[in-house]
Amino acid sequence: MIQFEYDGVMKRYDVKVPQTIAGESSMLTIGYISEDNKIILHRELRIEFVRQILMHWDEYEHQMTRELQEMLDNDDSDKPKFH
């Protein structure tokens, strides 16, 4: 499973994938995506895997945009409406 973790100091999203070494599982950072949607990869990857990362990124961005819009809509519904 691919994860994106925001790094507020560096203003980017770390791209993390699971890895298992000697029976121990952890998340490995393989690159990052900047706030202006540029991707930097730290490893040599197969194109199929890069496509999978991009597909997950599109889904993640869509979900974050939807959640932000829902928060804004809910915030507006709490305010009195004047006509």
Alpha helix stretches (DSSP H) within the chain: 47-77
Average pLDDT over residues 65-83: 72
Measure the CA–CA gap between 4 and 16, rounded to whole angstroms: 6
Q: Quote the pTM value.
A: 0.75
Which has the higher per-residue pLDDT, 66 or 32?
32
Q: Which pLDDT score is estimated for 80? A: 59
Measure the CA–CA gap between 35 and 47, rounded to whole angstroms: 23
* pLDDT confidence bin for 83, thresholds 50/70/90: low
pLDDT tens digits along 13-38: 999 999 999 999 999 999 999 999 99
